[in-house]
């Protein structure tokens, strides 16, 4: 009976230790520029960036005006 109790306590202690190490390790693997450092989150791809999309639309309108001066 004592062996079972010791095994359970030891198992729980090892489990908690492993979880603590995993959490500490995952916190250090965050990508640079993430929100963890207090930096603002930036778009990952150009098509997620509203400034990029706005610039593309502006260039399209400018090109359309140059191609069709009558409108």
What CA–CA distances, in Å, run from 7 to 4, 15, 58, 62?
A: 5, 12, 69, 75
**Residue pair 49/57 in contact by the 8 Å Cβ criterion:** no
Residue 27 is predicted with a pLDDT of: 64
Instruction: Encode pLDDT of 21-42 as tens digits.
Output: 998 877 666 555 555 555 667 7
% the chain with pLDDT above 70: 75
Residue 49 is predicted with a pLDDT of: 84
Instruction: Report the alpha-carbon distance of residue 9 to residue 3 in Å, rounded.
Output: 10
Instruction: Report the alpha-carbon distance of residue 13 to residue 59 in Å, rounded.
Output: 62
């Amino acid at each position: 009976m004592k062996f079972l109790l010791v095994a359970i306590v030891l198992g729980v202690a090892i489990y908690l230790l492993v979880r603590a190490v995993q959490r500490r390790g995952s916190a250090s693997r965050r990508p640079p520029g993430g929100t963890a450092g207090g930096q603002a989150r930036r778009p990952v791809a150009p098509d997620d960036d509203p400034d990029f999309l706005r610039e593309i639309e502006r260039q399209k309108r400018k090109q359309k005006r140059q191609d069709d001066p009558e409108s």
